[in-house]
Amino acid sequence: MGYLLHMWTCSSVNSLGHFSSLKAAEAEADAAASKWEAFAINISNVANFAIFLATVFVAALSGSLALIASALDSFLDLMSGLILWFTSWKMRKPSPHTYPIGKQRMQPVGILVFSTIMASLGLQVAIISIEKLITQEKQVDLEGHKGYLTIIIMGASIVIMFALAVYCQSFKSKLVKAYADDHFFDGLTNVVGLASAILAAKFRWWIDPVGALLLSVYTIVCWSGKIRKNIRVLVGKTAPPEILQKITYLSWNFDQRIKQIDTVRAYSCGGEYIAEVDIVLPREMQLLETHDIGEGLQNKLESLAFIERAYVHVDYDVSHKPEHNA
């Protein structure tokens, strides 16, 4: 018996040691993955900045409206990343006296303002393109070294964008995959811009303003979508049904003394949701118990990743008017 106990103890210790080794290996793998993800993000930001400068240079060199529209798209991506970084940095610095409920709304406000400006710039490029088509003004110049420089620089930027798209797509992180999509569409806009400039210089002058018009319409549509999305976030759109169902399930199963769930609300407020739950407890229950149940449920709901703040209202019946006016 003593021998068996000794063997079982050794086996258990070995199993625990093996489990600890696995956990340590997983932690090291996660750290390595995070390191490579950070590298992918950093190199993407550097590439976006360099390609923006290169596109501005060739647009000024060639006078192509399509390349100007392509440079505008690169500028949008660069600035949107900067705004996301700046607002995230500001949100990490709490100021409970000045912003008592936090700064979660800074990011959608920043994106909304920036999206409005960028959609307006896209509209301006579209107007200029239409004016060029009406006046039949020919302005693309790819003669001599200008043509070679434009093709070499834009060709290199397109190859870099598609290579980064493939590289970033290999990661599991949603953020890095978002960069992959961004690089892919940047590559496509650069292809359209370069093709429009070359075709306009070689064949028909109107191809360049038409290409610029297509790119500006694409810019307007993309950023108008972001405007609509962030307006919904800021005005307090209700949460999806699956989130409301999860809140209801957690509230009902939180404590067996909860008799009924009167109301469940969740609405957007920045990147996360605010939840409001009205529960019914026995009317003879003491204040100490009702407080502990209400506060415990509040803490449970606020532990959810998608809930910024939760409000729990405790009542003893459901036959009354709503607590808040709509």
CA 28 from chain center: how many Å? 27
Say which residue, 49 or 275, is predicted with more confidence. Answer: 275
Q: What is the pTM of this model?
A: 0.58
At the topology level, CATH places domain 10-235 in Alpha-lytic protease prodomain-like (1.20.1510)
pLDDT of the residue at 3: 43
Check: CB of residue 245 under 8 Å from CB of residue 261: no
CA 41 from chain center: how many Å? 14
Cβ neighbour number for residue 181 with a 10 Å cutoff: 12
Residue % of the chain over a pLDDT of 90: 14
Say which residue, 137 or 67, is predicted with more confidence. Answer: 67
Q: What is the pLDDT of residues 197-218, one digit of tens each?
A: 788 777 877 777 787 788 778 8
Helix axis angle, 287-302 to 241-252, nearest 10°:
140
CATH number of 241-315: 3.30.70.1350
How much is the mean pLDDT over the chain?
76
pLDDT of the residue at 318: 73
> Has residue 34 got a pLDDT over 60?
yes
Across the range 168-175, mean pLDDT stands at 71
Helix and strand numbers (H, E) in the chain are 8, 3
pLDDT of the residue at 200: 76
Q: What is the pLDDT of residues 118-161, one digit of tens each?
A: 777 777 777 877 877 777 766 666 666 777 787 888 888 888 88
Give the residue among 240, 266, 262, 271 at the shortest CA–CA distance from 322: 262
pLDDT of the residue at 247: 93
User: Domain boundaries in the chain?
Assistant: 10-235, 241-315
pLDDT of the residue at 178: 66
What Å distances lie between residue 161 and 10, 59, 174, 179, CA to CA?
56, 18, 18, 10
